[in-house]
Amino acid sequence: MTFSLMGMWNSMGLPAKLVGGLLVVMGLASLTVFIERLIALRRSRSAGRRFAKELGTDLHPHTVESTIREAAKYRRGHLPRLVAAALTTYCEGRASDEGGLSVVERTRRSVARRLEELGADLRRGLPVLATVGSVAPFVGLLGTVVGIISAFQGIAATGSGGLSSVAAGISEALVETALGLAVAIPAVLAFNYLSASIARDEMALSTAAGELIDIVECWPEDEQREVRRERVA
């Protein structure tokens, strides 16, 4: 055999090829998730910045409806989606004559649920990276065992323990081990990077949600009644 990737691949048995193919698929899956999450997070942050810039500090009871319409333009942004959900719940509560929880409390609970949904959306795909990072070394180890078995089969077939009889099996074992590590290490690094980045985004969303609830609580009661009348009309 020739000591090249193509030569080693051609010399591998079917089990070793299956293990190697599985590792390649796992590597492509983790790369796809990493790139998709980077793009999604970048778009979300960009949309959130544009929405916050347009909104500024001008959030009053009489601008609630326009703020909801403005937030609807930024569907890829998690901050606009959070603000739109909170203000929609607030308007629905003011327009309802039902007793029970106050409008602010309804809004607060809606925001809490929405934060969980947005957090789950931000973390979408991370289980794939975690699985690849933890499983790929063991898959590579499986390939190593297959390669060692192939080496012993070479010894049995030739009746000698020379280098030529075990070289193919040993090369399979080393290639599978290296491939498993080459897939696992980037997956773990990507998972840690995205986890830290998403944690910052979740903290920013939580802070924005708290500030929004504080603003709603400070609205005068007469202006809140005006929102109710506009909603009913």
Q: What is the pLDDT of residue 89?
A: 86
pLDDT digits (tens, 9 = 90+) for 6-47: 666 666 677 778 888 899 999 999 999 999 999 999 999 999
Separation of alpha carbons 185 and 133, rounded Å? 7
Q: What is the DSSP string of 147-211?
A: HHHHHHHHHHHHTS--HHHHHHHHHHHHHHHHHHHHHHHHHHHHHHHHHHHHHHHHHHHHHHHHH
How many structural domains does the chain have? 1
Distance separating alpha carbons of residues 42 and 104, to the nearest angstrom: 32
The answer on pLDDT for 227 being more than 50 is no
Q: Which domain holds residue 121?
A: 5-232
pLDDT confidence of residue 231: 46
